[in-house]
Amino acid sequence: MANADVVAYNIAAYIATLFLLKFGADNSSTTLLSSLAAPAFPKPSLALLLLEESGKRFLAVVIASLARNCASLAIGNIVGSAISNILGAFSLGLLFHDKDKPIQFDRSSRIYSLVLLVLTTFDSDSDDSSDGESTIDVVAERTPDHADGNNHKPNGPVRVEWNEQTNQAVHAGSSATQISPGLSRRKRCTLRYHLSYLLLDFLAICLAGYVLSHAATTITDEFGISDVLFGVVILAIATTLPEKFVAVMSGHRGHASILAANTAGSNIFLLALCSGVVMLDTEGRFEHGNVNIPELGVMWGSTVAFTATVWFG
């Protein structure tokens, strides 16, 4: 017989933590999109920020579950979150996309989706390191494109006649040179402000994931619910709320590349890092059940649909 006070307290904590998760997710998504306006912020680095955000939050849930000897809850949350990121977050982003603008994914989005499909299809133990390197290589490969666009200089000699107008132009150029360091400092301060605010949002999300995992394990113990079922359905929906908020805002603002990076980055961290932590801790032995073929089939099928959408529209 379940203890009513314990169940009521943990359900209340679970619901209250969802608001904390929503607060951190809403602020982090707004800060991420606002950071794109900063000239010093390279857009390819956004994918790495999304990966870091997802990794911290999902790792908080996974580690807390493992600490309570609930590896089945952790693996269920990983599979359920991977499915929810595609069928929930990515689909919502497409639905909220501006109908007047065509949905176009860039080359890096296609590569991210392909890396995710390979990671989902083959054994993660042999592909963890290569997948991480592939993602970083893509970001590093695209960064010089933006840098070159800001460093074009005219070639060839320029003939200048010395007169009063030239003298005024020289003084104007020197004054502009004196102003530009101040502008660059303000831009760097703005970027540091956004990143600091983003760090606080990450901490709020990690705290929410920690409380959610404790409340979830207590509820499953009281009612005797399967850890895998609770992790795949209820806990996965709660922990992927940030992806849904980022997807909705990215789709509404027409950032299709951010939408793809949000989905692919989260699932890469789930399947490579989080599942690796679970396997290292449990050595593949789950006392309270494991995911079955139907759950894995839905995850693989949704990943194929995501990759096909990014590549072929």
pLDDT at 260: 87
Q: Report pLDDT digits (tens) over 132-164.
A: 333 333 333 333 343 344 444 444 444 444 444
Q: Is residue 148 part of a domain?
A: no
The rounded mean pLDDT for the chain is 72
- Residue 72, pLDDT > 50, answer yes
The pLDDT assigned to 300 comes to 92
The Cβ-side half-sphere exposure at 255, using a 13 Å CA radius, reads 21
- pLDDT > 50? residue 202: yes
Contact at 8 Å (CB) between 191 and 31?
no
Q: Which of 2-6, 18-22, 124-128 has the lowest mean pLDDT?
A: 124-128
**53 within 8 A of 230, measured Cβ to Cβ:** no
Q: Give the list of residues 6+ apart from residue 283 with CB closer than 8 angstroms, or none.
A: none
Cβ distance 217 to 70 under 8 Å?
yes
In a domain? residue 158: no
Instruction: Decide if 159 is inside a domain.
Output: no
Range with the largest mean pLDDT of 19-28, 29-38, 197-206: 197-206
For CA atoms 236, 242, 243, 245, give the dihedral sign: positive
pLDDT tens digits, 296-305: 899 999 999 9
- Among candidate residues 250, 232, 218, 229, the one with its CA nearest the CA of residue 50: 250
Q: Does 153 fall in a domain?
A: no
Distance CA 37, CA 22 (A): 24
Q: What is the pLDDT of residue 161?
A: 44
pLDDT (0 to 100) of residue 138 = 32
Residue 152 burial (CB count, 10 A) = 7
pLDDT confidence band for 25 (50 / 70 / 90): low
Q: What percent of the chain has pLDDT over 70?
A: 66
61, part of any domain = yes
Q: Which of 148-152, 196-200, 234-238, 267-271 has the lowest mean pLDDT?
A: 148-152
Distance between CA 258 and CA 237 in Å, rounded? Answer: 21
Is 155 part of any domain? no
**pLDDT given at position 309:** 92
Rounded-to-integer distance, Cα 125 and Cα 138, Å: 22
Does residue 139 fall inside a structural domain? yes
Instruction: Find the CATH number of the domain harbouring 54.
Output: 1.20.1420.30
Q: What is the pLDDT of residue 54?
A: 56
Name the band, by pLDDT with cuts 50, 70 and 90, for residue 288.
Answer: low
Task: For Cα atoms 236, 44, 41, give the angle at the middle one, nearest 5 degrees.
Answer: 110
149 within some domain:
no
Per-residue tokens: 23:
């607060």
Overall domain count for the chain:
1
pLDDT(129) > 70: no
Q: How far is CA 15 from the centre of its chain?
A: 23
Residue 239 has pLDDT above 50, yes or no: yes
Q: Is the pLDDT of residue 12 over 70?
A: yes
Domain of 267 in residue numbering reads as 4-143+165-312
With a cut of 70, say whether residue 250 has pLDDT above it.
Answer: yes
Closest-CA residue to 249 (of 235, 240, 259)? 259
